[in-house]
Structure 1
Amino acid sequence: MKETNIKTNAFRAWLLASRPKTLIGAAVPVMLGMALAFNHGTGSFDVMPAILCLLFAFVMQIDANFVNDYFDCIKGNDASEIRLGPKRACAEGWVTLPAMKKAIIFTTAVAAFVGLPLIFYGGYEVIPVGLLCIVFCFLYTTKLSYLGFGDVLVLVFFGLVPVCLTYYVVMPQTGKNIPLDVFLTSLACGFVIDTLLIVNNYRDRDNDRHTGKLTLIVRIGERWGARFYLFSGLIGEILMLFVSLNNAVHTWAPAVLLGYLPVHYQSYIKMRKIRQGKALNKVLGQTARNILIFGIVSMLAILL
């Protein structure tokens, strides 16, 4: 999508600000939770809470993108002369700061509205989980990403929380617990989705160091940062293989998971070859594709 001649606060500006490609990271954990519930529920689960979980994940991801756009613009982190990643709406003037502030309030309210009915399926205990999602949505950009906690938050809020919560609310009342394979799948999902943040921070490591943003990549350096990208995907793959080998009806079913390894390793090699600069955005796009492939092959392995 070309990013020229964009009218301020127009539909196209908001579409770019919502970052549609990031919705892959929101969808995959929910889809894995649904697949696990379908498997454990012997081919059935509650459809409505599944839809609500997916909508909540989408709205929260857009909300997080708006929050990131707004606060990074205020802090000057998205200025065109220093930014290596895709252009951001507020920094480029596509969306005004007052309009983005209103959009953040609106999307936060919509997320709460969409998530609230989940209490009818998972009980009142889902309320504090939803509140934590909203609170950390703001804390990530404003505080925690500068302290190097971004990867931990991805593991929690793109792995443990969405996979386990989706499974919990869509299972029938007799299945309200979190089995080991669901927990391991949530960890696997978190590690794989974290590769997107890793390559993003790997690309921005020099700028982050100068602005005092102490991401994990800044702390461990370029060489181990690239290795962290490789190992994070490998850990996710190993965990899913363990889950599949212990649950598959067909002995060949875990083999479908191997479809993720070649593309992940290919992206790692390209990452090491490019090393720095805007060219790493190619690896960022490939990593988003890899996460989608991981989600598809993992769902197949679970269902088989």
Structure 2
Amino acid sequence: MTEAVSPAKAWLMAARPQTLPAGAAPVIVGTGLAIHDDFFAPVSAAFALVGALLLQIGTNFANDYYDAVRGADTEDREGFTRVTAGGIIAPQSVKRAMYATFGLAILLGTYLVYLGGVPILVIGLASVAAGITYTGGPLPYGYRGLGDVFVFVFFGLVAVAGTYYVQAVTYAAEPFPLWLPEGTVPLAAVVAALPVAGLSTAILVVNNIRDRETDAAAGKRTLAVMLGYRLSRIEWTALVGMAYAVPVVFWAAGYGLSVLLPLLTAPLAVSLGGTVWTHTDGEALNPALERTGQLLFAHSLAFAVGLAAPALV
């Protein structure tokens, strides 16, 4: 198997491009709200997007490496091929790629730190640390049922509000503020982050339902291992349901009819729910995992367009 995979394809497998919507989605939504509020700053948005994607890829490298060295990725695992456990790329090479990717994210983030000051510095360093310690370090929280919380907070709340902040702060304050200038992180930015947070976490829930048995055998106590199948499926349903409740809240708050555009993606969510509630095998859940990522991206793009539309017409 190793000989059949080219180096380029191997690194593409390690980067897991199918997960990149989880990195792009919060930037898209945060930018949509920034456009609505006349705070759009294209350069800041572009840096936020590249930084978010690098953090996603770095986290993927970290998970690939640390899950392999901890023995969580076994031959019984039904998920997508992991390059470290599969012997496709040497473990130390994956580890170096992880640190290089996070290092590049930090380097590019210096511009956002210049604009956003101490809040962005803290968020950036915390995001890198969280990406590594998800499965790495002496106490990996992904092995203790906290992975869902990490994704919800960092790939949802922090990423959307942070994207909005780095654009709003260019209008509201001088470079490198020591704290959040007034009006740069409104309540709307936090509430708008909830659909991204919910759907991003739903991706992880599908992954953990699929891997529940092998994770339990390897001592990896994900939330799905702790809760069992039924409660994990209820969690998935609640997270996805929240993603459709929030646009209705924005519409009720006067953001215009266009903010309901994400509801057009509801049939895909219902179809995915049927799969998640009735299957545990990789044959069914691997496609569902990718389709949940597609749902996240489609919902986020529709939400961003709905938020921005009143300012563009």
TM-score by length of 2: 0.90
How far off is 1:257 after superposition? Answer: 2.2
Residue in structure 2 matched with residue 73 of structure 1 by the alignment: 68
What per-residue deviation string (whole Å, max 9, x for no partner) do you get for residues 71-116 of structure 1?
111112223x211100011112221112112212211210110111
Please show how residues 144-183 of structure 1 align to structure 2 within 5 Å. Answer: 144-171=141-168, 172-174=170-172, 176-183=183-190
Counterpart residue type for residue 141 of structure 1: T
What are the Cα deviations for residues 243-270 of structure 1, in whole angstroms up to 9, with x where unaligned? 2331323xx3243221122211110102
Q: CA deviation at 1:176?
A: 4.6
d(CA) in 2 for partners of 1:208 and 1:194?
A: 18
Match of 2:240 in 1: 233
CA-CA distance at 1:3 after TM superposition:
9.2
Q: Does the 8 A contact of 2:113 with 2:121 survive in 1?
A: yes
Work out the CA distance in 2 between the residues paired with 1:15 and 1:98. Answer: 17
Match of 2:275 in 1: 270
Letter in 2 for 1:146: Y
2:5 paired residue number = 6
The residue aligned with 2:258 is 253
Distance apart, 1:227 and its partner CA: 1.8
Q: Which runs of 5+ in 1 are unaligned?
A: none
The aligned residue for residue 47 of structure 2 is 52
1:93 and 2:87 equivalent? Answer: yes
Q: Aligned partners of 1:3, 1:102: CA distance in 2, in Å?
A: 20
Counterparts in 2 of 1:280 and 1:52: CA distance versus 1, 3 Å:
same
How far off is 1:129 after superposition?
0.9
**How many angstroms apart in 1 are the aligned matches of 2:184 and 2:190?**
11
Equivalent position amino acid for 2:254 in 1: N
Q: How many Å separate the matches in 2 of 1:74 and 1:120?
A: 37
SS at match of 2:220: coil
Q: How many residue pairs align between the two structures?
A: 296
Tell whether the 8 Å contact from 1:203 to 1:278 is kept in structure 2 after alignment.
no
- Aligned match of 2:16: 19
Contact 1:35 1:303 in 2 (8 A): yes
Is 63-72 or 169-178 further displaced after alignment? 169-178
For 1:277 and 1:130, the matched residues in 2 are separated by: 34
SS in structure 2 opposite 1:25? helix
State how far apart, in whole Å, the 2-side matches of 1:4 and 1:31 are: 39
| 1:4, distance to aligned residue in structure 2 (A) | 7.7
2:130 aligned partner: 136
Q: Which amino acid aligns with 1:165?
A: G
Task: Report the Cα offset of residue 273 of structure 1.
Answer: 2.5
Partner-residue secondary structure (3-state), 1:202: helix
SS of the equivalent of 1:125 reads helix
For residue 84 of structure 2, give the secondary structure of its aligned residue in structure 1: helix
Amino acid of the residue matched to residue 25 of structure 1? Answer: A
Deviations 1:203-223 (A, max 9, x none): 111112222222111122111
Partners in 1 of 2:293 and 2:230 — Cα distance? 22
Report percent identity of matched pairs: 30
Task: Give the structure with the larger helix fraction.
Answer: 1
CA–CA distance in structure 2, aligned partners of residues 102 and 181 of structure 1 = 39
CA-based RMSD of the aligned residues comes to 1.8
Residues 1:255 and 1:185: Cα distance change in structure 2 (over 3 Å)? closer
Which residues of structure 2 form unaligned runs of 5+? 173-181
Aligned to 1:247, the other structure's residue is in SS state coil
Greater length-normalized contact order (CA 8 Å, ≥ 6 residues apart): 2
2:58 alignment partner in structure 1:
63
Cα distance in structure 2, aligned partners of 1:197 and 1:21? 13
Offset at 1:277? 4.0
Match for 2:60: what amino acid? N
- Candidates 195, 211, 226, aligned match of 1:204: 211
Corresponding residue for residue 175 of structure 2: none
| 1:6 Cα deviation from its structure 2 partner | 0.6
